[in-house]
Structure 1
Amino acid sequence: MVETILEYLREPLVTLSGTPVTTLTLLAAIAIVIAARIIAAIIGRSIERILEAQGLDRGMRHAANKITRYVIMLVGTFVAIGTLGVDTSAIMAGGAVLLVGIGFGLQKLAENFISGLLVLIERPIKKGDFIDAGGVLGTVEDIGLRATRVMSRDGVAVIVPNANLISSTVINYSAPTAERRFQIDVGVAYSTDLEVARKVLTDIADAEPMVLKTPTPEVRCYGFGDSSIHLVLIVWIAEAKEDLIVGSKLRFAIDKAFRQHGIVMPFPQREVHMVPPRAA
């Protein structure tokens, strides 16, 4: 019975480049691809651990892991194709034709592929960075060869094509540091003692634990409006992605403190003087 099974497995299915492709060689090719995938995962993780032990940042480790996996998978695929009897040199020679086809039909895919390599090598962004890519605000979860996955503040995974990261403006709030300057705009009435308002605002900033002590918080006057004096509380926070939380806390504290000190935040208003018409 074993001989019968082997005979069936050795039965040619198709002939490629003069070499018969059997079920056995097909299974061997599949096994090689699977083995390459497993080996790539093991080596990739090992390299990442080694780089972590050397103190390299997470983005560099992630890029090295990805590139290693892609190279091993590419080699494994070529070996598997060679096992099937396909002349790999002919595939390389046909690469020029493939590039022409890419130029016409797969231009966008090729652009994303090349952009993915550039992102991994140049590292304008890296895994864990908080970015703004075309209005998409979130944390980079994974950088693939075709697209990058960004986890938004709403917990939604957004897939951003790599070409957009190279050709469009991307704001990386985590580079060179995750710290960010943040400001709260406040309008106070013209009857307000500005020195008192300044002290109240700086005390609020100093009391908020999510606000950094250095650089020190400051209050600036940005102008005189129609209904109020425009003050701005400027603070620095440790994580750019925490700006909404810090802003909410500061605004609650400002409202409470202003009520306690009798500082008025006026709403827009206009005074209209009616001039009676002159008697004829």
Structure 2
Amino acid sequence: MFEGIKLENYLEILIEKIQNNLLVWSNLIELILFLLLVIASYFLKKILYKQVDELLTKIDALRERKRIRIIDQLLYPLILMILVGIYYVAAVSFDLPVVIISIFGNLVSAWLIVKAITLFFPRNRMFRFLSALIWLVTALRILNIYQETINFLDSLAFNSGNLRISLLLIIKIVIIFSVLFWLAGKLSRIVTSRIDKSDDLTPSVKVLLTKMAKFLIFTSAILFTLSAVGVDLSAFAFLGGAVGVGLGFGLQKIVSNFISGIIILADKSIKPGDVVEIGDVYGWVKKLDTRFVSVVTRSGKEFLIPNEDFITKEVINWSYSDELVRVDAKVGVAYNSDLRLVQKLMMKAIEEKDRILTDPEPNVLLTDFGDSSVNFEIRFWISDPRNGIQNIRSKVLLSVWDHFKENEIEIPFPQRDYHLKSLPDDLNKYLNDAKSKTKKVKEESEEN
């Protein structure tokens, strides 16, 4: 499966280069010269610090803290690299040994690059990954086996159709994709922050633009990675047919929910913060996702409802156009009650609640005369449905109950009168016998 692997030859080249280039006594002079360059760089940093600081002060985009970090981290290795470069050019011109200087030149270059990375990357996994990669490449160049290593990694390969996959290709993909994916995440957060701060966009449009931006940014990172490593993107054209078949069978619901999510965002029927009721779920919308809508109830439960349900089922959006909501509560009283006093007591129960609005005004209406009670309906408005509707209705009804008890207003319960036209013969006989016995006992008691 793999091409010819020459691991033994690679190790022989590595050992030979170490013996011929490093383990030589004449390199001691170069080491001493490098130490002198290190000392000279230290004093030059002290001398040039103020001048560089004044030069960077002219750049308005650099704040004082950033400017000091740049000077402290980059000035010394930059001066040392320049001095090493000058010595290297002079040594080559006069045919002097440059083995040790070349090694330290590579090390200083790597050190300078790592220091520069710390200005832009926090000390996280990405920073450690890039630092390790830079030091590894530097070590290979110092040993003068960089190209041999590249050739060795490229030889570990196998063919899959017209596509040649080598270990070198995989490493390149991992490196480039890791960097681009990190940059895509940073860019995505910047774009999301800019969109969220825009006052001209509605919440639903913000969510739509954010999701589109993330999709485009990360898709571009993947395509650019494949293109950068030389992968022919036309080789993936066959995926179009496979995706089409998958969408027709296993991905129906996923695609349906995805499209439903786009429709919801486009028509603005549901947006974060809305108070909605769908089926038995009542709560406010916390998040709109590509597959579901997150609805949090008053009890703290978070329901992940598929987007398709918001398109195909009946949905009550209590805050679609505004957050004004009318709450109704039905109450019945006995027929012997003072109806005007009842109406007055109900209005009093409404006026005692903080959440109930005075504009629109609350109202108490007599709706009908029922079989067992005179029925009223309490109507009032609130502007904060996310704080609950049933709880404010409960408070009003409890207050009505207290006022009714204080004023001896009766809330009736259904009563029925039954009239029996005929009874079974056995029951008639039993009742007649019982009646006769009762009459006989009564007569005997009167005689005594």
Q: TM-score normalized by structure 1? A: 0.86
Contact kept, 8 Å, 1:30 with 1:80, in 2: the verdict is no
In the alignment, which residue of structure 2 is the partner of 1:22?
Answer: 170
- Give the letter for the 1:150 counterpart: V
CA distance in 1: counterparts of 2:226 and 2:369, whole angstroms: 74
Contact kept, 8 Å, 1:10 with 1:23, in 2: the verdict is no
In the alignment, which residue of structure 1 is the partner of 2:72?
Answer: none
Contact kept, 8 Å, 2:271 with 2:285, in 1: the verdict is yes
Deviations 1:201-260 (A, max 9, x none): 112212211111111111122222221111110111112232122112111211111112
- Percent identity of paired positions between Structure 1 and Structure 2: 27
In the alignment, which residue of structure 2 is the partner of 1:36?
Answer: 184
Q: TM-score normalized by structure 2? A: 0.56
Contact kept, 8 Å, 2:333 with 2:374, in 1: the verdict is yes
Shift of 1:273: 5.9
SS of 1:40 mapped into structure 2: helix
* Structure 2 segments unaligned to the other structure (5+ residues): 1-135, 424-448
Contact kept, 8 Å, 2:173 with 2:226, in 1: the verdict is no
Q: Which has the higher contact order (CA 8 A, sep 6+)?
A: 1
CA distance in 1: counterparts of 2:307 and 2:158, whole angstroms: 39
Matched, 1:215 2:360: yes
Contact kept, 8 Å, 1:13 with 1:22, in 2: the verdict is no
Specify which structure has the higher proportion of helix.
2
Contact kept, 8 Å, 2:208 with 2:262, in 1: the verdict is no
Shift of 1:188: 0.3
Specify which structure has the higher proportion of strand.
1
In the alignment, which residue of structure 2 is the partner of 1:225?
Answer: 370
In the alignment, which residue of structure 2 is the partner of 1:259?
Answer: 405
Contact kept, 8 Å, 2:327 with 2:389, in 1: the verdict is yes
CA distance in 2: counterparts of 1:76 and 1:118, whole angstroms: 27
Change (3 A) 1:91 1:243: same
Change (3 A) 1:173 1:5: farther
Matches within 5 A, 1:58-69: 58-69=203-214
Shift of 1:96: 4.5
Contact kept, 8 Å, 1:189 with 1:264, in 2: the verdict is yes
Q: How many residues get paired?
A: 276
Question: Which is further off, 267-276 or 113-122?
Answer: 267-276
Contact kept, 8 Å, 2:157 with 2:164, in 1: the verdict is no
CA distance in 1: counterparts of 2:146 and 2:210, whole angstroms: 41
* Structure 1 segments unaligned to the other structure (5+ residues): none
Question: Which is further off, 182-191 or 29-38?
Answer: 29-38
CA RMSD of aligned residues (A): 2.9
